[in-house]
Amino acid sequence: MNLGDIARNKLQSLALLVAAVSLAILPQSSFAQEISEPATSVDEAVAEGQSVADGEVVTETDAPAFEHFGPDMILGQPTSFEDDAIASMTFQDQYTVNGDYALWMHDAILMPIITAISLFVLGLLMWVILRYRRAKNPNPSKTSHNTLIEVIWTVVPVIILVVIAVPSISLIAKQYQAPPEDAITIKANGYQWYWGYEYVDNGGFEVISNMLSVEEALTAGEPHQLAVDNRMVVPVGVPIRLQTFGADVIHSFGMPSLWFKLDAVPGRINEKVLTIEQEGIYYGQCMELCGARHGYMPITIEARSMEDFNAWVQSQPGGMTRAQLDAEAAAAAAPAPEADAEGEEADADAEADAADAETAAAAA
Ligand SMILES: [Cu+2]
């Protein structure tokens, strides 16, 4: 190795060192800044009452006003130990039919069975320890088989497992029921490290959602690390076909109070149906370890009446309600009045031709 090579090697390692140090001291906020940008520009467009559709700036005229819910409408969120010790250790309140069922299964089936078995085993242990200790029972029994006891300790656990299996399997079946055909499709895209909500059935616009800073969350009266700048607004009481997709790595869309968790996997679309029972704000998080800022990509769902949802959709760039899309499709499908008349004539001709052909065939 000559002197030049040595110098080059030294320089390369120095460059690596400088890069590593600058990465380490680069403020975290600069990452957040990068990913917040698209959302800010959309906000500005909305604030100016304009929507950017197909690259054109369109001024909105008749879109109804929409206002987001305040913190008084927060329903689905975790409870801190200080506020309520018991609630902090168990499930959040549930706002879907599946969530109610799962909570019932936990409270009425699993917990009583677990408690009874634990107490029974504890009782048996205590009895054996006290009654059959060496001082009390110097000559232990040599019994090695007892058919009755063996049958009981085989059959009873089988019955317990069957009792648990029936509601358990039925819950799995409920969770994976296919959404009805008219369900509203919303696609949640997981990015490193934020969420994008694509409104497939409402014009295909995407809402980019980033976590609020501590100050912003406190000002808004919302919980920090759960509150976001742009919420996922959904209609209440109607089935939503919620699809998940991973744009880079595997994420997971998890909403504890809605009994909904679905992995967002690159290269495939997962889907489950979600029907929220009550208007309000619900918080969730990414639930798959997805990288450095995995803990900072929360989900906020705002469930609104269909009327409010439609108003919100129209406030989004390129957003179209179902009625608007249907009307547009009908207008595109229906020919102009003149063409319509000609079309009818053409139809009549075709029918006559068909009749002629039938007669000819019959004659032959
Ligand atoms: Cu993630």
pLDDT tens-digit profile, the chain (364 residues): 454 555 455 546 545 544 554 445 444 444 444 444 444 444 444 444 444 444 444 444 566 788 999 999 999 999 999 999 998 999 999 999 999 999 999 999 999 999 999 999 999 999 999 999 999 999 988 888 999 999 999 999 999 999 999 999 999 999 999 999 999 999 999 999 999 999 999 999 999 999 999 999 999 999 999 999 999 999 999 999 999 999 999 999 999 999 999 999 999 999 999 999 999 999 999 999 999 999 999 999 999 999 999 999 999 998 999 889 989 889 988 876 655 555 455 555 555 555 555 555 454 4
Q: Cα separation of 189 and 196, whole Å?
A: 5
What is the pLDDT at residue 78? Answer: 93
User: From the CA of 266, how far away is ligand 1's center (Å)?
Assistant: 12
Q: What is the dihedral of CA 240, 246, 247, 248, to 10 degrees?
A: 170
What is the pLDDT at residue 140? Answer: 87
Q: Cα separation of 49 and 232, whole Å?
A: 20
User: From the CA of 246, how far away is ligand 1's center (Å)?
Assistant: 9
**Domains in the chain, start-ordered, CATH in brackets?**
29-93+183-330 (2.60.40.420), 97-136+147-175 (no CATH)
User: From the CA of 291, how far away is ligand 1's center (Å)?
Assistant: 7
User: From the CA of 321, how far away is ligand 1's center (Å)?
Assistant: 30
User: From the CA of 93, how far away is ligand 1's center (Å)?
Assistant: 24
What is the pLDDT at residue 143? Answer: 87
**What region, left, alpha or beta, does residue 221 occupy, with left being phi > 0 and alpha being psi -120 to 50 degrees?**
left
Q: Cα separation of 294 and 248, whole Å?
A: 13
- Kindly state the DSSP code that residue 201 receives in the 8-state scheme: G
What is the pLDDT at residue 46? Answer: 42
Do residues 102 and 168 make contact, with C-beta atoms less than 8 angstroms apart?
A: no
User: From the CA of 190, how far away is ligand 1's center (Å)?
Assistant: 6
User: From the CA of 293, how far away is ligand 1's center (Å)?
Assistant: 8
User: From the CA of 216, how far away is ligand 1's center (Å)?
Assistant: 22
User: From the CA of 319, how far away is ligand 1's center (Å)?
Assistant: 26
User: From the CA of 283, how far away is ligand 1's center (Å)?
Assistant: 15
Which residues does residue 263 pair with via DSSP β-bridges, in sequence order?
252
What is the pLDDT at residue 333? Answer: 86
- E strand intervals along 256-329: 260-264, 270-274, 280-286, 298-304
Tell me the pLDDT tens digit for each residue of 107-124: 999 999 999 999 999 999
User: From the CA of 255, how far away is ligand 1's center (Å)?
Assistant: 13
Q: Cα separation of 134 and 153, whole Å?
A: 26
Burial tier of 358 (Cβ tally within 10 Å: 0-12, 13-18, 19+) = exposed
User: From the CA of 260, how far away is ligand 1's center (Å)?
Assistant: 15
Provide the 10 A C-beta neighbour count for residue 206: 17
User: From the CA of 189, how far away is ligand 1's center (Å)?
Assistant: 10
User: From the CA of 23, how far away is ligand 1's center (Å)?
Assistant: 21
Neighbours of ion ligand 1 (CB under 5 A): 251, 286, 290
Q: In the chain, count H helices and then E strands.
A: 10, 13
User: From the CA of 31, how far away is ligand 1's center (Å)?
Assistant: 15
What is the pLDDT at residue 322? Answer: 87
User: From the CA of 297, how far away is ligand 1's center (Å)?
Assistant: 6
User: From the CA of 203, how far away is ligand 1's center (Å)?
Assistant: 26
